Amino acid sequence: MKTGRIFLVTAMAAGLAQAAASKPNFVFFLSDDQLKADYGCYGLPLDLTPTTDQLAKQGLVFEKMFTAEPICAPSRAMLFTGQYPVRNGLFVQHTASRAGTKTVYDALTPLGYDVSLIGKVHVKPNSVFRWSSPATKQNIKALPMEDVDAYFAKNKEKPFCLFLTSHYPHGPYPAKPKFPQDQVVVHPFMKGGSKNGLAGYYDHISKKEKELAQVLQLLEKYKLDENTVFVYSSDHGNGMGAKYTVYDRGLNVPFIVRWLGRIKPGRTKALSSYADVVPTFVELAGGEPVDGVDGKSFASILKNPEEKHQKYVYGVMTQQGVWGTHVFPRRSVHNGRFHYIYNFNTLEKIARDESKNKTIDPFHRIGAEMHPEVTEEELYDTDSDPWELNNLASNPSLVKIKSELKGELFQWMESQNDFLTEGGEIPYLKSKHPVDQSSEKYTCPPELEGAIKTYLDPHNLTE
C-alpha cells in the first residue's frame, strides 16, 4: 500500500512538471462577498452552490486560504500583486496601489502569457494594473459571457491567464427575494441578521453559480479544460458581520484549485494567502521565483496536500475610507490555529488615556464607541472556536502564545512599513470618505464637520 502511494505521488509530481513545461493556462474565477461557510463544500447544509460543490469534487480544496483585508479593492490588489495591502499601498478602500508596483501581468507576460481580466476591476491606477487585452465591459453587474467566449476562441492556441471577476453575490440584494426566508442559515456571529437580506444574498449566489457553470462549459467547448489550472475563490466574507473585520469569517476565503489529470482531488489545511497566488502561477508556468512579493508558491501543496506552507498569515483593516467611515484600525496574525488581533482605538484605550488626563480626539471617541464590546487584544483558538466568539486574550494559560503572536505581528508590521505602532498616533488618512464629512452611510456630528485640517497620504505614511 505504501509503495502504491509513493508511486502515485511520484507520478503526480512528474505530471505537474511536464504540464508546467507545456505552459498551462490559468483561469481565476473570483466571486464577490461570499462567506466561506456559505458553500456546500465548506459545510452549508443547503443545495445552494451545486457548481462550486462539483468543482470541489474535482479539485484541491483549501481550508486555510486567507486574504489580508476584507474589502474589495485591497483584497484584489493583494491577489494581483502578491504583496500585502500596506506594502502595495492599497489598504484604504477606493484609493490606489503605489506607482511602480509589479503585478501578475509583469510576472507572466515575459513567459509568453496573455494576462487579462473580464468583470469587476475595482483596483487602480491603470498604470499598475495592466492587462493584455482589456475587456470592453468592465465593472458591469453580470459577466459578459460573449466576451469570455470570444477570449477563449482568440487565445486557445497560446497560454493565457484570465481573471473572471463576478459582481455576485455582492449587494444590493433584491427587495423581494425568491429564496424562502425560512430556509436561510443564520450563522452564530450574525447578531440579529436579516433573513430577508440573507435570502436576497442567496439569490445572488445562485446567479454567480450560473455564471461559473457557463464559464466551465466554455472551457469544455474550446477543449481548454484539461490544460487549464482553474481556481475558484471569493474576495472575502459578506457584509453581514464578516466584511470590514479581521476575523476569520472575513479573511478566511474559499479556494479551490482544479487541474484535471494533474491535481488529485482532496483537501488541504496548508496555511496560505492571496500573496501566494502570483508566485504559484509563475512556478507552474515554468518561470523563476518572483522577486518583490510577500508570498511563496504553493505548487508543492498541489503535489502533497499534507505539507505545511506559511507559518503565519496577517490581517489588516482600515475603517477610514469605507462607506461607514470611522477611526478603528486593526491588525492580526494567524498561525493556522491561534488568531491574535490588536485593536488600536478601543474604549479600553480611551479610558486608559483619560486616567492619564490626556485629551481625547472626538473622532477617536466616536470610532471606539462604534465597537463598545471590542477589547484592545483578542485571541481565538480557531480549532475549537471557528466563529471566534470566545476571546481568550486574558486566559493565563495562553500568555506565552499571545506574547509570541503579538511580537510576530508588530515585527511584521515594521517590515511592511506600517504607520501604526503600539501606543502611537493614529493619523487621519486621505480617502474618498473623510471622517469630518457626512456621506450616504455616515453622519458626522454637525459641530465636527470640517474640523480636520490635515489628512495624510497613505503612500507617504508607508514608504
Q: Are 395 and 320 in contact (CB under 8 A)?
A: no
Q: Are 59 and 258 in contact (CB under 8 A)?
A: yes
- What average pLDDT does the chain have? 93
- For strands 330-334 and 338-343, give the pairing: antiparallel
pLDDT, residue 139, reads 59
What pTM does this model have? 0.94
69-100: burial string, b at 16+ Cβ within 10 Å, e else: bbbbbbbbbbbbbbbbbbbbbbbbbbbbbbee
Tell me: pLDDT of 36 over 90.
Answer: yes
Domain with CATH 3.30.1120.10 in the chain: 315-461
Q: Hey, what's the cell of 95?
A: 484609493
Tell the CATH topology of 2-311: Alkaline Phosphatase, subunit A (3.40.720)
Tell me: pLDDT of 385 over 80.
Answer: yes
Q: Supply the residues annotated as catalytic.
A: 72
Architecture field, domain 315-461: 2-Layer Sandwich (3.30)
Q: Hey, what's the cell of 357?
A: 488626563
pLDDT in tens, 39-94: 999 999 999 999 999 999 999 999 999 999 999 999 999 999 999 999 999 999 99
> Within its chain, how far is the Cα of 306 from the centroid?
23
pLDDT, residue 98, reads 97
